[in-house]
Amino acid sequence: MPRYCEIAVPVPLRSTFTYAVPAALDGEELVGRRVVVPFGKRAMVGVGLAESEVAPDVSRIKEIAELMDPLPALPSKLIELGHWVSRYYVAPVGETFRAMLPPEIEIRQDRNYSITGAGRAYARQLADTPEITDQEAAERKLLERFDDATSVSSARLRRAPGAEALAEKLVRRGCLVARETLRRRKSRAQKIAAWRAESTDTPADDAETRIRDLLTTERGPLPLTLLLKKANVSRSVIARLEKSGMLQIWEEPVTAAEDPWDTDFTPPANVLNAEQSQALAEIWRWIVAGEFSAALLHGVTGSGKTEVYLGAVEAALSRGKTAIVLVPEIALTLWVGRLVRARFGDRVAVLHSGLPDIERAREWWRVRRGEARVVVGTRSAVFAPLENVGLIIVDEEQESSYKQEETPRYNGRDTAVYRARLEGAVALLGSATPSLETFHNARAGKYKLLTLSSRVENRPLADVRVVDLREEFRRHHRAAPISESLRSAIAVRLEERTQAMVLINRRGYSWSMLCRSCGVVVQCENCSIALTYHKSRQRLECHYCGYSIRPPKHCPKCRAEYMYFVGDGAERVDEYLREQFPHARVARLDRDTVRTKRQYQQVLGAFAKGEVDILVGTQMVAKGHDFQRVTLVGVAAADLALGRPDFRAAERTFQLLTQVAGRAGRGELSGEVLVETYYPEHYAIQHAARQDYISFYEKEAHFRRVLHYPPFTALANVLVRDRKVENAIRWSRALATCFEPFEKQGVKVLGPAAAPLARLRQDYRFQFVLKSPQRAALGKALAGALDFCAAREIPSTAVIVDVDPTSLF
Ligand code: ADP
Ligand code: ZN
């Protein structure tokens, strides 16, 4: 009986592909397995979704080339989840499953070259020409490596300098053809070097002596890379020693190194208070019941939600179940990961995109094999390959970082709730400032509600003072990056020897560069957005596409030389604080200063230990951290987000202010918060100042209901984009006609209109906003639109569908 398998291949198409199963794979289960398959001219890694005994068009069917792992990468529940994500978010099925698989560390894209008729003719011609140039001689030499039967891989070509580039040139001239292949790579191992004890030879020079001492008396066997660095020698020295038999080198799998961040840590021994115990007792009941439930843990900042999470994980493990803890930021995987590991040891794995591929793959497979039973991670950890899941926690569930802003555009929180439903597990969403959607669900009884209404040990919430920047300016008549009120409050903290944090939610030194003479703003060449000035690098940079230039001396439009910078970012605030307080220890946390896990640990660790007095940063500093000696939090330009044409602007502002205010006064010292704004009377700012979530919710929910926005309406954003503005316009018009019939089925279609970012990465962009009280109707309209595009040959990359967008900006 022939066998066929439906394979999800990572291409932007909304279907799977049928492949034949070769006889060599008889008896192998293919569902959930990663396979290598030929696709067009390439080889790709896909995953088996279903087997069958019939195929649509047997004559054109290709065979699976290779099976990758000994066990299925995806358990059956995850296959079901993948289908749901693909359907709900109208995302290509192959790309959706690609997001669920481990990084492909064991394979490498390679190219295989073979010679063409034209190539053979050219080689003959060169052979017959008596005098040829050096270049031609090199070409001839390369072409002569080929006969009709052999092909040569790029890996082999790379051994001779320049050969690969030359081969590519010959491909462009039609003398060679190249095919993409996948090659296995042995990178799961590292080379270890040791000194051969039986060797009686003596080192010939200083370098060799250094190596011997390191490998014998000082350290013992070392990874080769470390040895090269420590001994400060070149590879050739090592090769020489290996050849002469003094060194022995072998391969070992890479294993997790001990991280001092974890090992030097003693977790606090907290006894749960009444509210925490009550919440945990409820969660225990749900976990014991062993069926799906979703709940919101609404706890003010500093109410000790983390302790409840830990207890909930304990409950799940004690029932033989597994657990996932999602956090919104890589930085938080450090804090939360450490606490969870301190409690549950080796059973914990950490997964996030900041890990090197090798490390991520290692952790992923540890989870898949069942060695780790608790996963702490960011968004994509919702797809952690655990089986028998009993609990999924989503900390700070309102965060927009749970939404993936590329295909598949899923929301990790909503996916977590759906996964919990599939697994019969408990979904626990925690927040001090729940999203409107989640709180609405809790009020409507769809989610259970647990409340922690006060801070641990009844510590007071910090006092919030709103600083009216208009009045500040009237009084002091100068514009500084932070207000005089905030400056003097920081001075007090420095004297008291407590700590201060300053949040400024913009990277860079200045937001934009403007010509005083004609008013033009220096814009990105590829995007309709102002370039941000970064002083340390002396560049104007686009935060969307990475385009950058030196700051021009003259206006690009009118040539006047009166260019000046507008708006202060984190880099400027940092510099200003150092000027004002030359003796203070100032550190900055934003994507310009920290990029790696190590750097995060350094900055946050130093602040936690009291080695830093003032921490300046973007929203990275706002979330979740628990610092005990912070008594002042300042928010510079708190109303930045309010200026955006976005229905979530007020919600975002309220959340950010409440979150950052929650960083103050968490220890035994009480805290104060200063919020700088030009709109002191705005309700988002007023309610945040009072830290009154319920009143904010009621006001905001009223607007959302009246204006038909989530949670009262399902929303989708459809973008049409192309390099050529004519195409973008034509396709938008076509789509508009396609949407028309759906208006009668309860889908309101707004647009097409120029998108708020009308140009991005050289693409012109038009936008539709679709709203419907019925999600099913919305889904039909979106699927209909994509079918329409496929039929009209509108490229699938030109249309972006975003279901439940976190922003319309
Ligand atoms: P949040 O609700 O803001 O996430 P955390 O979980 O970070 O709050 O807890 C805030 C602080 O309170 C932490 O330092 C934690 O160790 C401490 N804590 C938690 N529970 C208790 C308790 N029952 N008694 C005393 N301290 C506690
Ligand atoms: Zn740009």
Ligand number nearest to the C-alpha of 659: 1
Residue with CA closest to ligand 1 atom 23: 272
> Which atom belonging to ligand 1 lies closest to the Cα atom of 628?
14
Residue with CA closest to ligand 1 atom 20: 304
Q: Is the CB of 274 under 6 A from ligand 1?
A: no
Separation of 310 CA from ligand 1 center, angstroms?
11
What ranges make up the beta strands (E) of 518-671? 532-534, 539-541, 548-549, 563-568, 586-589, 614-617, 630-636
CA Rg value for the chain: 30
Residue with CA closest to ligand 1 atom 5: 304
Q: Is the CB of 608 under 6 A from ligand 1?
A: no
CB-CB contact of 589 with 604 (8 Å): yes
Compare 67 and 404 and report the one with higher pLDDT.
404
Distance separating alpha carbons of residues 293 and 311, to the nearest angstrom: 17
Q: Could you tell me the two tokens for 121?
A: 């003719």
Q: Is the pLDDT of residue 265 over 80?
A: no
Could you tell me the CA-to-CA distances from 395 to 97, 132, 318, 324 in Å, in that order?
Answer: 25, 69, 22, 11
Question: Among 270, 303, 691, which residue has the most ligand 1 atoms within 8 Å of its CB, making it the best to mutate?
Answer: 270
Q: Is the pLDDT of residue 222 over 80?
A: no
Please name the residue ranges forming H helices in 424-483: 436-443, 469-476
Query: What integer is the mean pLDDT of 60-65?
Result: 90
Ligand number nearest to the C-alpha of 430: 1
Q: Is the pLDDT of residue 92 over 80?
A: yes
Q: Which residues contact 303 (CB under 8 A, 6 or more apart)?
A: 275, 276, 432, 452, 453, 454, 455, 456
User: 190: pLDDT confidence band, cut at 50, 70 and 90?
Assistant: low
Q: Could you tell me the two tokens for 60?
A: 């054109």
Q: Is the CB of 305 under 6 A from ligand 1?
A: yes
Separation of 301 CA from ligand 1 center, angstroms?
9
Smallest Cα–Cα separation from 534: which of 562, 509, 567?
509
Give 621's Cβ-side CA count (13 Å radius). Answer: 35
Neighbouring CB atoms inside 10 A of 197's CB total 7
pLDDT tens, position by position, 527-573: 999 999 999 989 999 998 889 999 999 998 899 888 999 999 999 99
Compare 269 and 526 and report the one with higher pLDDT.
526
Separation of 181 CA from ligand 1 center, angstroms?
53
Query: What integer is the mean pLDDT of 21-46?
Result: 90
Separation of 456 CA from ligand 1 center, angstroms?
6
Q: Could you tell me the two tokens for 516?
A: 């005083």
Separation of 411 CA from ligand 1 center, angstroms?
28
CB-CB contact of 322 with 245 (8 Å): no
Distance separating alpha carbons of residues 85 and 380, to the nearest angstrom: 12
User: 257: pLDDT confidence band, cut at 50, 70 and 90?
Assistant: low
User: Count H helices, E strands: the chain?
Assistant: 25, 33
Compare 729 and 131 and report the one with higher pLDDT.
729
Separation of 93 CA from ligand 2 center, angstroms?
30
Question: Among 305, 307, 433, which residue has the most ligand 1 atoms within 8 Å of its CB, making it the best to mutate?
Answer: 307
Smallest Cα–Cα separation from 614: which of 505, 492, 511, 506?
492
Query: What integer is the mean pLDDT of 742-755?
Result: 94
pLDDT tens, position by position, 389-424: 999 999 999 999 999 999 999 999 999 999 999 999
Query: What integer is the mean pLDDT of 419-438?
Result: 97
Q: Which residues contact 539 (CB under 8 A, 6 or more apart)?
A: 533, 548, 549, 550, 551
Q: Could you tell me the two tokens for 284?
A: 């225990």
Q: Is the pLDDT of residue 216 over 80?
A: no
Question: Among 626, 628, 633, 655, which residue has the most ligand 1 atoms within 8 Å of its CB, making it the best to mutate?
Answer: 626
With H, G, I as helix, E, B as strand and everything else as coil, classify residue 678.
coil
What ranges make up the beta strands (E) of 33-75? 34-39, 42-52, 66-67
Residue 56 has a pLDDT of 76
Residue 47 has a pLDDT of 97
Compare 666 and 595 and report the one with higher pLDDT.
666
- The 3-state secondary structure of 773-794, one letter per residue: CCHHHHHHHHHHHHHHHHHCCC
Question: Among 456, 628, 668, which residue has the most ligand 1 atoms within 8 Å of its CB, making it the best to mutate?
Answer: 456
Query: What integer is the mean pLDDT of 296-319?
Result: 95
Separation of 302 CA from ligand 1 center, angstroms?
6
Residue 270 has a pLDDT of 86
Q: Is the pLDDT of residue 460 over 80?
A: yes
Q: Is the CB of 456 under 6 A from ligand 1?
A: yes
Could you tell me the CA-to-CA distances from 178 to 154, 171, 537, 582, 629 in Å, in that order?
Answer: 9, 7, 41, 61, 62
Q: Could you tell me the two tokens for 662?
A: 């929650």
Could you tell me the CA-to-CA distances from 327 to 62, 337, 402 in Å, in that order?
Answer: 42, 10, 9
> Which atom belonging to ligand 1 lies closest to the Cα atom of 276?
23
Separation of 708 CA from ligand 2 center, angstroms?
32
Smallest Cα–Cα separation from 276: which of 38, 76, 497, 458?
458
By percentage, how much of the chain surpasses pLDDT 70? Answer: 95
Ligand number nearest to the C-alpha of 529: 2
Separation of 457 CA from ligand 1 center, angstroms?
9
pLDDT tens, position by position, 127-153: 898 888 888 999 999 998 888 777 888
> Which atom belonging to ligand 1 lies closest to the Cα atom of 272?
23
Residue 696 has a pLDDT of 97
Residue 252 has a pLDDT of 58
Query: What integer is the mean pLDDT of 74-88?
Result: 96
Ligand number nearest to the C-alpha of 543: 2
Ligand number nearest to the C-alpha of 629: 1
By percentage, how much of the chain surpasses pLDDT 90? Answer: 59
Q: Which residues contact 630 (CB under 8 A, 6 or more apart)?
A: 498, 499, 500, 501, 663, 664, 665, 666, 667, 671
Q: Is the pLDDT of residue 251 over 90?
A: no
Q: Which of 235-239, 358-362, 604-608, 729-733 has the lowest mean pLDDT?
A: 358-362
Q: Is the pLDDT of residue 213 over 80?
A: yes
Separation of 623 CA from ligand 2 center, angstroms?
28
Q: Is the CB of 273 under 6 A from ligand 1?
A: yes
Residue 182 has a pLDDT of 66
Q: Is the CB of 299 under 6 A from ligand 1?
A: yes
What is the residue-averaged pLDDT of the chain? Answer: 89
Q: Is the pLDDT of residue 29 over 70?
A: yes
Ligand number nearest to the C-alpha of 546: 2
C-alpha dihedral, 786 to 788 to 789 to 791, nearest 10°: 130
Separation of 431 CA from ligand 1 center, angstroms?
14
Q: Could you tell me the two tokens for 644?
A: 């955006």
Residue 194 has a pLDDT of 82
Residue with CA closest to ligand 1 atom 18: 304
Please name the residue ranges forming H helices in 629-711: 649-661, 683-689, 693-706
Residue 341 has a pLDDT of 92
Q: Is the pLDDT of residue 6 over 70?
A: yes
Smallest Cα–Cα separation from 332: which of 304, 362, 314, 352?
352
Angle CA(316)–CA(317)–CA(323) in degrees, nearest 5? 65
> Which atom belonging to ligand 1 lies closest to the Cα atom of 271?
23
Q: Is the CB of 445 under 6 A from ligand 1?
A: no
Residue with CA closest to ligand 1 atom 9: 304
Q: Is the pLDDT of residue 111 over 90?
A: no
Question: Among 273, 296, 306, which residue has the most ligand 1 atoms within 8 Å of its CB, making it the best to mutate?
Answer: 306
Q: Is the pLDDT of residue 379 over 90?
A: yes
Q: Is the pLDDT of residue 259 over 80?
A: no
User: 668: pLDDT confidence band, cut at 50, 70 and 90?
Assistant: confident
Q: Is the pLDDT of residue 212 over 90?
A: no
- With tokens 């400056």, the residue in question is 487
Q: Is the CB of 626 under 6 A from ligand 1?
A: yes
Distance separating alpha carbons of residues 200 and 211, to the nearest angstrom: 15
With H, G, I as helix, E, B as strand and everything else as coil, classify residue 637.
coil
Smallest Cα–Cα separation from 243: which of 182, 201, 184?
201
Q: Is the pLDDT of residue 256 over 60?
A: no
DSSP one-letter code for 6: E
Query: What integer is the mean pLDDT of 184-195?
Result: 67
Q: Is the CB of 627 under 6 A from ligand 1?
A: no
